[in-house]
Amino acid sequence: MIYLILIVTALILLIGFLVLSIYEANRGTRYFEGFRATFDHRVEKTQFVLTHVDLQAFLYDEVRHLSARFGHDIVHLVLQMVRFAERFLTRLVRRLRTKQVSETVAREPSREFVKTLSDFKEHLEVTRPQVPNVFDVEK
């Protein structure tokens, strides 16, 4: 059934083409002249390309070009992800180091300093007697 429909459609189009060609030849004008001229030019250009261009080499070159571009894009994306991870880890390590260093730096000197002051104070109390405050008046 489908073959019959295709054959009938092809015959109708062929008959329509012949009738239109005879009508245009008798009148001396062409219908849709601008559109048909553009279409004829495109058909000629396509025919020229198909006859003069090596399609196998062209397709091979295009596939190679597209695969190189695709590979470049993938590598670029991976590089951006690695840089993001590097920045994240660098900030994390910097934050952890500054916290650790600030805690150790703040505690160690203050402990040593307090210890030294306490020792010095005790040494002063032992070596020098306490002087009564003259200005302290008891009422």
Kindly report, residue by residue over 96-114, the tens digit of the pLDDT: 888 765 555 545 556 788 8
Contact call for residues 24 and 30 (beta carbons, < 8 A): yes
Same domain, 46 and 67: no
Question: Is residue 121 domain-shared with residue 64, that is, in the same domain?
Answer: yes
- Look-up of token digits 């104070």: 121
Give every CB contact of residue 129 below 8 A, 6+ residues apart in sequence.
none
Read off the pLDDT of each residue in 49-64 and give the average, rounded to a whole number: 92
Which H helix or E strand runs over 22? helix 2-27
| Domain that includes residue 18, residue range | 1-53
The total number of structural domains in the chain stands at: 2
- Give the pLDDT band (50/70/90) at residue 28: confident
Same structural domain, 47 and 66: no
130 phi/psi in degrees, rounded to 5: -80, 130
Pair of tokens at residue 12: 């109708």
Whether 135 is covered by a domain: the verdict is no
> Are residues 61 and 13 both part of a single domain?
no
Residue 105 near residue 113, CB atoms below 8 Å: no
Same domain, yes or no: 65 and 122: yes
pTM given for the model: 0.41
